[in-house]
């Protein structure tokens, strides 16, 4: 409530009256909170920040760029603590929401980006809160990719060889940075561009710093979910280069020749973010974006951009071929993924973005793995099946698991849902879990012929599909 009071006081100071309505707006990728405050025709956006440096930078930079005639929101008032401010209301439409129907706005945004980047740095540099782009920051992003995407995905790589590639890539990026630098927006993407009255306005530039100008244009045009065709991407890149090079008086081709390098760097950085938010934190939006980012990586691989970095090239080929990250078409059926797994190696990952599902612990049942004659066999082998059936507990367990799952499957089919995941875990993922996963998968296939049942005995490297679509 203290945040609302501070924002209300700023509103009163600006408009001379108390806001009649205060509505909290949906959160974005940051920790900032946004509110729409209004009274009659008077309205503004209230911002509550967590990071004083970011708030301070945004307020100061907004003033500088407005003086330069750039399309950024006006800040109307700032609280004494610097963490609360009110700014111009730019509406609810982001460029991302209309991006496929507004090529003129994409061109407008890129030309204004070039203008922003070419503002005399003596005007904005005292306002930024972050150090200039450096080799250290290059490695932060490359390691972000390594530790938050490669490792959580389980992709095999030689760390020493990959580090050699990172050293060389960092050297190439820093050479390009020296060639054309200016205000680096750092997070220039269509979600950070608001559209009002067919005009684009930039927001969220508080992370700006001195750095390579081309990074921002590439970030925008290679944004995974925008999925621009390559021909259009190259066309818009030339629009940007034309504006930027005219202001800086440098050859366009020199700037454009560096675009593939920055596209590779940005793609790796984005995959790191998607890995953290998707693979680690299991957020659906980011999981859904991984295949599209890998499509960008595939295009760069085909173009030979990664040829100078052999281990990175090998890793890229592996990721692109990984069926977990394939782009799925719009399904008209339910796919149920049934896993057996070892608890020692963690739960199965869910790459559907759906979340939820069922996990069953089979470790309470008698373990065939304790006996020498069964150690090399699995729950698919007849001697193990006979052993488990003799006691009867695994059949009772799998029957009850099926009855627990069944109503959910019926509802998912009825409502047109497309993904459900079920897991059976035991100590080694070899005997009890394999038997139960197989038993339940077969029952699901029989009872729900309209659903595709994908079975994965993870620790055994065995996959099969029931009711496969032709």
pLDDT class for 101, splitting at 50, 70, 90? confident
The whole-number pLDDT of residue 327 equals 64
The whole-number pLDDT of residue 418 equals 87
**How much of the chain exceeds pLDDT 90, in percent?**
81
Q: How far lies 469's CA from each of 91, 335, 415, 450, in Å? A: 45, 10, 20, 10
First-last CA distance in the chain:
57
Q: Encoding tokens for residue 459?
A: 């620790």
pLDDT class for 149, splitting at 50, 70, 90? very high
The whole-number pLDDT of residue 330 equals 53
Q: In DSSP terms, which residues pair with 424 in a beta bridge? A: 340, 360
The upper half-sphere exposure of residue 390, i.e. CA atoms within 13 Å in the direction of its Cβ, equals 9
- Residue listed under structure tokens 């001697």: 383
Q: How far apart are CA 104 and CA 109, in angstroms?
A: 9
Q: How far apart are CA 239 and CA 336, in angstroms?
A: 47
The upper half-sphere exposure of residue 418, i.e. CA atoms within 13 Å in the direction of its Cβ, equals 9
Q: How far lies 239's CA from each of 97, 279, 401, in Å? A: 22, 36, 59
Rounded to the nearest 10 degrees, how much is the dihedral formed by the CA atoms of 303, 352, 269, 297?
0
Residues whose CB is less than 8 angstroms from the CB of residue 41 and which lie 6 or more positions away in sequence, other chains included: none
**How much of the chain exceeds pLDDT 70, in percent?**
97
Domains, the chain: 2-87 (3.30.200.20), 95-325 (3.90.1200.10), 335-466 (no CATH)
Contact present, 450 and 333 (Cβ < 8 Å): yes
Within the chain, how many helices (H) and strands (E) appear?
Answer: 16, 14
Residues whose CB is less than 8 angstroms from the CB of residue 146 and which lie 6 or more positions away in sequence, other chains included: 159, 162, 166, 272
* DSSP state string for 341-405: EEGGG-PPP--SS----EEEE-TTS--GGGSGGGTT--TTSHHHHHHHHHH-HHHHHHHHHHHHH
Residue 326 has pLDDT above 90, yes or no: no
The whole-number pLDDT of residue 111 equals 97
Q: How far apart are CA 427 and CA 367, in angstroms?
A: 9
Residues whose CB is less than 8 angstroms from the CB of residue 139 and which lie 6 or more positions away in sequence, other chains included: 166, 170
Mean pLDDT of 309-317: 97
List, for residues 66-94, the tens digit of each pLDDT value. Answer: 999 999 999 999 999 999 999 999 999 99
Residues whose CB is less than 8 angstroms from the CB of residue 454 and which lie 6 or more positions away in sequence, other chains included: 335, 336, 337, 338, 463, 464, 465
Closest CA to 46 of 24, 17, 13: 24
Q: How far lies 144's CA from each of 205, 232, 310, 374, in Å? A: 21, 29, 19, 43
Q: Encoding tokens for residue 344?
A: 């020692």
List, for residues 124-145, the tens digit of each pLDDT value. Answer: 999 999 999 999 999 999 999 9
The whole-number pLDDT of residue 288 equals 79
Q: How far apart are CA 279 and CA 349, in angstroms?
A: 8
For helices 432-447 and 393-415, give the axis angle rounded to 10 degrees: 40
List, for residues 176-186, the tens digit of each pLDDT value. Answer: 877 788 999 98
Radius of gyration of the chain (CA): 27
Average pLDDT value for the chain: 92
The whole-number pLDDT of residue 38 equals 96
Residue 65 has pLDDT above 60, yes or no: yes
- Residue listed under structure tokens 């599209």: 292
pLDDT class for 238, splitting at 50, 70, 90? very high
């Amino acid at each position: 409530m203290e945040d609302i009071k501070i924002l209300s006081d700023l509103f009163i100071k600006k408009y001379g009256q108390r806001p009649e309505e205060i509505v909290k707006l949906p959160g974005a990728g940051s920790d900032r909170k946004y509110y729409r405050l209004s009274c009659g025709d008077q309205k503004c956006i209230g911002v509550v920040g967590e990071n004083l440096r970011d708030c301070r930078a945004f307020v100061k930079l907004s003033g500088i760029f407005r003086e330069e005639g750039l399309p950024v929101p006006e800040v109307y008032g700032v609280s004494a603590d610097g963490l609360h401010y009110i700014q111009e209301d730019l509406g609810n439409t982001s460029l991302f929401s209309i991006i496929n129907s507004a090529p003129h706005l994409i061109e407008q945004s890129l030309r204004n980006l070039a203008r922003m980047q070419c503002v005399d740095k003596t005007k904005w540099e005292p306002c930024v809160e972050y150090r200039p782009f450096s080799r250290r920051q290059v490695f932060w992003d490359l390691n972000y990719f390594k530790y938050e995407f490669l490792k959580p995905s389980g992709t095999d790589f030689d760390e020493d060889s990959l580090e050699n590639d990172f050293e060389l890539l960092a050297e190439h990026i820093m050479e390009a940075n020296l060639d054309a630098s200016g205000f680096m927006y750092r997070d220039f993407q269509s979600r950070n561009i608001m559209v009002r009255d067919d005009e684009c306005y930039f927001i969220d530039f508080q992370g700006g710093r001195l750095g390579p100008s081309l990074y921002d244009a590439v970030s925008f045009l290679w944004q995974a979910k925008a999925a621009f065709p390559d021909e259009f991407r190259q066309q818009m890149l030339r629009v940007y280069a034309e504006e930027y090079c005219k202001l800086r008086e440098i050859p366009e081709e020199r700037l454009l020749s560096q675009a593939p390098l920055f596209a590779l760097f940005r793609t790796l950085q984005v995959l790191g973010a998607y890995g953290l938010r998707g693979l680690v934190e299991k957020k659906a939006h980011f999981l859904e974006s991984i295949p599209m980012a890998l499509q960008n990586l595939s295009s760069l691989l085909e173009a030979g951009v990664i040829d100078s970095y052999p281990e990175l090239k090998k890793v890229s080929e592996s990721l692109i071929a990984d069926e977990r990250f394939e782009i799925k078409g719009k399904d008209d059926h339910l796919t149920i993924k049934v896993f057996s797994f070892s608890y020692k190696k963690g739960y199965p990952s869910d790459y559907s973005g759906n979340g939820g599902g069922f996990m069953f612990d089979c470790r309470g049942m008698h373990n065939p793995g304790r006996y020498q004659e069964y150690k090399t066999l699995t729950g698919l082998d007849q001697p193990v099946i006979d052993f488990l059936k003799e006691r009867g507990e695994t059949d009772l367990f799998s029957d009850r698991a099926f009855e627990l799952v069944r109503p959910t499957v019926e509802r998912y089919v009825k409502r047109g849902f497309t993904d459900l995941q079920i897991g059976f875990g035991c100590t080694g993922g070899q005997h009890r879990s394999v038997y139960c996963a197989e038993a339940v998968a077969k029952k699901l296939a029989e009872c729900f012929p309209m659903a595709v049942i994908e079975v994965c005995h993870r620790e055994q490297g065995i996959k099969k599909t029931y009711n496969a679509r032709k």
